[in-house]
Copies of this chain bind each other. A is one copy, B any other.
Amino acid sequence: MFSYNHLFNFAQQVFQSMGCSEEDARLATECLLAADLRGVDSHGIARLIGYVRLWDAGRINPKPEIRIVHETPSTATVDGDSGLGLVVAPKVMDIAIKKAENAGSGWISVKNSNHFGIAGYHAMRALPHNMIGWAMTNASPLVSPTNGLDRLLGTNPIAIAIPANEEPDFILDMATTTAANGKLEVLQRKKQPAPLGWIQTKNGEDSTNPEELKLGGAMLPLGGASASYKGYGLGSVVDIFSAVLSGANYGPWVPPFVSFLPLPENPVGEGIGHFLGAMRVDGFRPADEFKAHMDNWIQTFRNSKAKAGETVLIPGDPERIISEQRLQEGIHLLDPVIKDLEELAKKFSLTF
């Protein structure tokens, strides 16, 4: 078990060793570790070495000059200057929040960025401002469209954070596939079969082999046999809003997260794309009124009749409960992750 503070100090030093400013390194670390706290282990400190390898390969600029390249009062396109998504996205959220203060809402499409950790962290940045936060990103292509065999979409997540008053905030953070890639990685490590409906073979047959992607298979969009066109449609919207609006790479051209894979040829844009937004709740009705009704909405759902032995949860409940536990009890890391962190310590002459 490692304490949050221990991991925070180490990750911050790694980012500073890559050349990030102290402020950017703190921001990137807070964002990265939000994944470990919220139980999305695949997107947290386990990925720190991946970011370092991208930096080693010259694909990450540790000192990006993030700038608005096109805008209206409530919209903008931002160039992330090849920065860490972990730094670019929170800074862009702050621009969206500023736009929302002035125009009621702010919607920003981002090009030339990199993987930004968990979408939920960015959406939640709007909450203290009594705003609804919105975060989406495209990602390395692993998913086939309905009826298709080629891998054309990432697991393209959507996160929406909505403030309540006395109740915990409503926080939806979901991949547009049946299962997030991180869940597949867990089954790979445990050598357990995947449920039907998560993946297909390279010929489009159902598969339960968690290693199927290495054989040319693909992940499947949310919705299952009769409704995967819905997950495919949502994943496509994420791709278009994140990259066709901004001028980032889309579809099969999205750069891979792993540095050992080559960049796709003939890119159609720059880097990876995100779409981030903030909307003032008092752009619609007084914030205290809205938040009182959110409390009522949440209580109505939470107190509704559940199946025997089950509970009706509100989006964000599981992550909040894990987060409280891990802040107190510490964060468990798998041996391969500890090995990676020790390698990073050696590389940068740090102590883990």
Contacts and interface: CB of A to CB of B under 8 A. Distances in A.
26 contacts: A71-B104, A73-B73, A73-B102, A75-B104, A75-B279, A76-B284, A77-B285, A145-B301, A147-B311, A148-B301, A149-B305, A152-B300, A162-B240, A172-B236, A174-B233, A178-B224, A179-B227, A195-B226, A203-B307, A222-B223, A229-B315, A239-B297, A244-B293, A245-B284, A247-B293, A268-B293
Given A170-B236, A174-B233, A75 B105 contact: yes
Contacts of A103: 72-74, 103-104
A125 interface: no
A286 to B, nearest CB: 8
Nearest to A291: B244
Nearest to A283: B75
A204 B148 contact: no
A109 B305 CA distance: 29
Contacts of A247: 285, 289, 293
Contacts of A305: 148-150
Contacts of A74: 73-74, 103-105, 283
A153 to B, nearest CB: 9
Nearest to A183: B226
Interface string A283-312: 111000110011011001100111110111
